[in-house]
Amino acid sequence: MYDTITAISSGNVNQAISIIRVSGPEAFEIVSKIFTGKVGKDKTLTFGKIMDQKEVVDEVLVAWFKGPNTFVGEDTVEINAHGGVVNTNKILGLILANGARIAENGEFSRRSFMNGKMDLVKAEAINDLIHAKSEAQTKLSVKKFDGRTSKLIEGLKKKMLNIIATCEVNIDYPEYDDVEQLTTENLLPALKEIEKEITNVVNVSNSSRAIYEGVSVAIVGKPNAGKSSLLNALLQEEKAIVTDIPGTTRDIVEGTLQIGQVLLKLKDTAGIHNTEDKVEKMGIEKSITEISNADLVIHLIDSKIGETKDDEEIEAASKGRPYLKVWNKNDLAKREGISISAKENKVTELFNAIEDKFKDIDLNDERIVYNTRQLSLIKAALISIQDAINGLEMQLGPDTVIIDIQKAWDDLANILGKADQEDLLDSMFKNFCLGK
């Protein structure tokens, strides 16, 4: 049995309306001690005053939710007060004085999970939504609320579970002729189908992670190509110092920008060229590193000068990375390809090219798993399934590779926070007539 907890759910700042949440077995009783209005029925609002003995603290609306049919899974009360910091904290203090304790970070959601109201995927989605920094992040987080990732994982778990249960029955109850015999010939195709499904999930998720986490963009080029001017033009602010002196930028200058559904993490790098300056060389080494780590490389070339040997080396260093060659200062000379004038803030053509680079990523694809913890467990499950396949192909029997399949199942179960043997036992005893 949990105790009763409370917290200011709306944030401890001045606002129009503040919300103080109380949850636990004594939630109704504690609030009724300081509230003059009626204790409402489930899912009702009642009006009244919060009292500190005979002193009125505030006039409030109180929402009453009877467990277990609540977000937390227990009795919950939400006090809607006028949003002053002083009166809100006064109400919180009265609730604490009457038997509740202050909730720890995430404790309401933790109780919801422990009470079976949501799995870990949804719990993480709530946190992701709160911290979303782009429309794409918001959209993906909300889509997790409907359980699409959970359904995907449950489907894969079920297929593995049938294999595990059949194998366990073959081993423990070999005398039952009505149970399907698991052999390499019928197990191998089933595992390869599971491997294909998980591989597709990993591939789709990897390609979409840049959209969710933000696309790391390295703006590279020779000194004085206009990289800092481009960063400022994209961000519409003076983020980087712009001068006519080559080599002004010696360290990475960063900024973020959203174009369509894409969140760009822009990095203005030091100009790349041959130099004897030790400090400048260090900046150039950082620039090369940024190229190798970037989700997108924007190679800026001065249209007036044209391509040089340094530019050829930059393009070679960018091989294997998504790459855009951009001609700057097109007010001076027009070139084929993407042309801009960073100095004049004429960058629409580049905006369109960036958006086009990521247009094929479908955020509605139900196979997308963007959460790092979840995706790492899926990848671990894939490795275990591949180990099982390799074992069968090396003439190991199903009774040996079942260990790898069980590990894969455990990894998927951990995504949902349900790594126990109950599902396996249920499957064994419900699907097979072991009581004959």
Binding residues for GTP: 224-229, 243-249, 268-271
- Structure tokens, 323: 């790459």
Number of Cα atoms under 13 Å in the Cβ half of residue 193? 10
User: What element of type H or E holds 44?
Assistant: strand 44-52
- The type of residue at 292 is S
Asked if residues 266 and 244 have their Cβ atoms less than 8 Å apart, the reply is no
The binding site for (6S)-5-formyl-5,6,7,8-tetrahydrofolate comprises 21, 78, 117, 436
Q: Is the peptide bond before 322 cis (omega within 30 degrees of 0)?
A: no
Beta carbons within 8 Å of 380's beta carbon, 6+ residues apart: 408, 411
Beta carbons within 8 Å of 62's beta carbon, 6+ residues apart: 31, 35, 37, 40, 45, 46, 47, 48, 77, 78, 79, 80
Phi, psi of 418 (to 5 degrees): -130, 55
The binding site comprises 21, 78, 117, 224-229, 243-249, 268-271, 436
The binding site for Mg(2+) comprises 228, 249
The binding site for K(+) comprises 224, 243, 245, 248
Sheet containing 55-65: order of strands: 44-52, 55-65, 76-82, 17-23, 5-8, 101-102
Question: ∠ at Cα 202 (196, 203), nearest 5°?
Answer: 85
Sheet containing 296-302: order of strands: 253-259, 262-268, 215-221, 296-302, 323-328, 338-339
